[in-house]
Structure 1
Amino acid sequence: MPSRLHFREDDFLRCRFAVSPLWETQEVARTLKRPDRHGYHAPWLRRVRTAADALDLGGLWLLMPRRGHSPDWLCPPPAGPAVGFEDEIAVVRSADPESAREDTARSLADTPGALDSPRGRAWLADPARMIGELADTLERIWHTLVEPDWPRLRALLEADVAFHSRRLAEVGLGGLLPEINHRCGWHAGTLTVDSGEHERHLGGQGLVLMPSVFSWPDVVTGFDPPWQPTVVYPARGIAALWSEPAEHTPDALVRLLGRGRATVLAALTDPAGTTALAHRLDLAPSSVSAHLTTLRDAGLLVARRYGHQVLYERTPLGMALASGGGGGNGGEGRRG
């Protein structure tokens, strides 16, 4: 049975996108637990394996059943479109112990043996201690595994939001939701998500749409009141996230634009900001910024502001040059 989220008229006015570093942090732990999620993230997993093995994730894994409930208090939907990890972890630490106990007991019951495990019994006996221990674990995961790569992750997530925001303006919410992921369907004011079994009337709260890197390949919903109704979906561009820059930029492009500008144009397979490109290409941000400005002025890129940064993407002419083609679409189509 799919999940169903029922909209009323005022819900359409309260839909928004968000990016959550806390969500990515807890999903890293889930990815480490589940080999079926490794896929695109295999290069990253090889790089961080030693650091990940030094973390004690056993307690967190008790609350991550393969099928069933994960505690909402442990990773609530973000309050704003681009909150910081420190703000989000503060919300976790302020969770009401009795509500967290009830939510946690439900999750432990979905993991065989967890409810009667020594750790599970200790947490239910002292939920305030449980909150502190799990928040500490999330902080260690953030600082060790996520924060070093956050500029790259954030750039990909914000590029997804920029893309889907434009699509929302073009096709409306009913047209956008099925595009976000093939598991999503829309009919007569109801969003269906092929992900678990959950039903909720939004009741004027609207919906948060949240792209995620580490939730791949899953679409996640099921947040219960009082939490904001939310759908988490795999972000666009994950396949190229951990790939290194191409070793060889096409010679014709280099002759036309020069080595630096050609390299930057070729690297913009998905929208990105100056900092993310500089990190990816191992170039000085000032050099990348200068190349981006020149490419934009030449009509090969467009720049759009999202939040605190400007994202650049190729125009049809830029796509054609980068791919070596002559057509207006440059061999690249829209991906939902």
Structure 2
Amino acid sequence: MPSYLHFGEDDFLRCRFAVSPLWETQQAVRMLKYPERHGYHAHWLRRTGRAAAALDLTDLWLLMPRYGHCPDWLCPPPIGPAAGFEEEIAAVRASDPEEARADTAKSLADTPGALDSAQARRWLRDPARMVRELSDTMEEVWRTLLAPDWTRLRALLEADVAFHSRRLAEVGLGRLLPEINRRFGWRAGTLTVEFRGRHERHLGGQGLVLMPSVFLWPDVVSTFDPPWQPTLAYPARGIGGLWAAPDDRAPEALVRLLGRGRAAVLAALDEPAATTALALRLGLAPSSVSAHLTVLREAGLLTSRRYGHQVLYERTPLGIALVSGDG
């Protein structure tokens, strides 16, 4: 059955994109629990398998029913468009214990037998301790499994945001949403999301956060319960090639024209990327990549725009033509 999100006039003015390291941490834990989510991440799972096995994820898994409610307090909607993990986990640690207790009980009720477990009873007796313990576990997962690869993950997520931001400017929200995912439909100011169970919410002037995710596939998440801001999480574009070794060989003609370093940087920008991500991908010093980007931008082959604390670079039509050999 579908979920329904009803837009009012003010909601169209308050739609935004966001990237959340906390969300990716939670979804990575969920992916580890459910093998059907492993498909795109086999390489990452092999590389991190020993570290993941050393983590005790039992408590977090208890709050991740296959179908049902996950506690919103443990992974709330993103604070801002590009908040860091430290800022997000601080907000989780500041959760009101009594509100966390009620939210957790709702989640436990969706897993048969969970409410009767010793851990559940302990949490519900002492929700302040529960908040501390689960926050500590989330932070340990982040440090161990996500932080080492965050530059790569963030680059993919920001490329998704850049692509869909351009499409929003080109076609508007009503056409963009069905393009983002085949489960999304739009009609007369209402977004429908094909999802298990029925959920209906009027946005009430809060707008909607659109959030790409690396580890969410093949699912979507259509909203959070009030008072949390309505949020639509969806699988990011390009996750199929996320862990593959990139083929960044520039055409020889481009190398002769620009030099090997600048040609490699231009060829690597199939999606918008920041200096650090390009340097990691190409195995070059960030200072060298920065110098190449400056020259390419001044030559009219790249454009740049600020996203949060970073500057993203992407090819201009002339840059695209040079890389493809067009004309």
Q: Which TM-score tier does this pair reach, normalised by the shorter chain?
A: over 0.9
Instruction: With the length of structure 2 as denominator, give the TM-score of the two structures.
Output: 0.94
Aligned-pair identity in percent equals: 77
Alignment of 1:120 onto 2:120: yes
More off after superposition, 52-61 vs 143-152: 143-152
Correspondence for 2:152: 152
Correspondence for 1:27: 27
Q: Aligned to 1:312, what secondary structure does the other structure show?
A: strand
Distance 1:244 1:253 in 2: 21
Distance 1:127 1:222 in 2: 24
Q: Contact (CA 8 Å) 2:19, 2:83: kept in 1 or not?
A: yes
Using the TM superposition, give the Cα deviation of residue 124 of structure 1 relative to its aligned residue in structure 2, in angstroms: 1.8
Q: Which runs of 5+ in 2 are unaligned?
A: none
| Partner deviation per Cα, 1:89-139 (whole Å, 9 max, x = no partner) | 122112222221121112112223322222122212221111111101000
Distance 2:53 2:321 in 1: 44
Q: Aligned to 1:115, what secondary structure does the other structure show?
A: helix
Distance 2:309 2:70 in 1: 32
| Partner deviation per Cα, 1:192-216 (whole Å, 9 max, x = no partner) | 1112321101111111111111112
Correspondence for 1:334: none
Which amino acid letter does the alignment assign opposite residue 6 of structure 1? H
Correspondence for 2:169: 169
Correspondence for 2:138: 138
Q: How does 1:242-257 map to 2 (within 5 A)?
A: 242-246=243-247, 248-257=249-258
More off after superposition, 61-70 vs 174-183: 174-183
Number of equivalences: 326
Which amino acid letter does the alignment assign opposite residue 289 of structure 2? V
Q: Contact (CA 8 Å) 2:249, 2:267: kept in 1 or not?
A: no
Which amino acid letter does the alignment assign opposite residue 227 of structure 1? W
Correspondence for 1:227: 228
Which amino acid letter does the alignment assign opposite residue 161 of structure 2? V
Using the TM superposition, give the Cα deviation of residue 248 of structure 1 relative to its aligned residue in structure 2, in angstroms: 4.2
Distance 1:234 1:62 in 2: 23
Q: Aligned to 2:114, what secondary structure does the other structure show?
A: coil
Q: Aligned to 1:129, what secondary structure does the other structure show?
A: helix
| Partner deviation per Cα, 1:247-300 (whole Å, 9 max, x = no partner) | 744333323332212221222121101110001111101111122222223333
Which amino acid letter does the alignment assign opposite residue 145 of structure 1? L
Distance 1:175 1:140 in 2: 40
Which amino acid letter does the alignment assign opposite residue 131 of structure 1? V
Correspondence for 2:202: 201
Q: Which runs of 5+ in 1 are unaligned?
A: 328-336
Instruction: With the length of structure 1 as denominator, give the TM-score of the two structures.
Output: 0.92
Cα RMSD (Å):
1.7
